[in-house]
Structure 1
């Protein structure tokens, strides 16, 4: 025989689960928003055209990071960082000139771009790490407290 829940049982279940759902929504909404911002920054950084005579060194292995104060300092900031490793035949100056002109939009303003160079190899090529970084003040995402 199937038991039929009474109206009182439904009210009791709603009294238990509705507050939990509200708290979950309040806690997770900033997380979902910042995850979407990180994904959008990743897509903009990935879609930005590479310099000539340059390719991704590890096309399937990009470093995508979100967290509090990734570059140090104090305060409650939410930071986004994308790292892409490139192999290039260009000089350090040519790469710097190319990325000095780059504009990649961050979550709230233009993202910062940093470059890290390795010494050239025997063939004259080099690896370059392109780091795209953005940050904003804490906005209720518990991961940035």
Structure 2
């Protein structure tokens, strides 16, 4: 029984170790994004709209890259320029380097304020995670 189980367990561990590592990297990026202070007069009022994604070439293109993306939706009373200033100074570490931050704005709503989607993205070359092949 051990002679059959040991090779299967070894292959499982070899295949899953990169997956577990990249899942931990994504979780760490997510925690760093949430730990970054929000701009003044801005709230994370849409916690169910958070999108935490890992996969191959999320930003399109070709090649074998492992990509990490975290999106949060905020409600703010600030102007787009003020939000750009706040996140333009942000330094959120990605899996291996500084993450890239993109901002997407909606028009001001009838109740005042506007929604802004903050997207934090990081990528690295394939390192044996089968999901990035």
Report the TM-score, using the length of structure 1 for normalisation. Answer: 0.89
Cα shift at 1:15: 1.2
Runs of at least 5 residues in structure 1 that lack an aligned partner in the other structure: 1-12
Kept after mapping to 2: 8 A contact 1:90/1:125:
yes
1:23 aligns with 2:23: no
Kept after mapping to 2: 8 A contact 1:66/1:79:
yes
Residue of structure 1 equivalent to 2:72? 84
Indicate the RMSD between aligned Cα atoms, in angstroms: 0.8
Residue of structure 1 equivalent to 2:83? 95
Runs of 4+ in structure 1 displaced over 6 angstroms?
A: none
Residue of structure 2 equivalent to 1:8? none
Cα shift at 1:34: 0.1
Aligned residues, how many?
133
Question: What is the rounded CA distance, in whole Å, between the counterparts of 1:32 and 1:22 in structure 2?
Answer: 15
Q: Quick check: which has more Rg, 1 or 2? A: 1
Runs of at least 5 residues in structure 2 that lack an aligned partner in the other structure: none
Report the TM-score, using the length of structure 2 for normalisation. Answer: 0.97
Residue of structure 2 equivalent to 1:121? 109
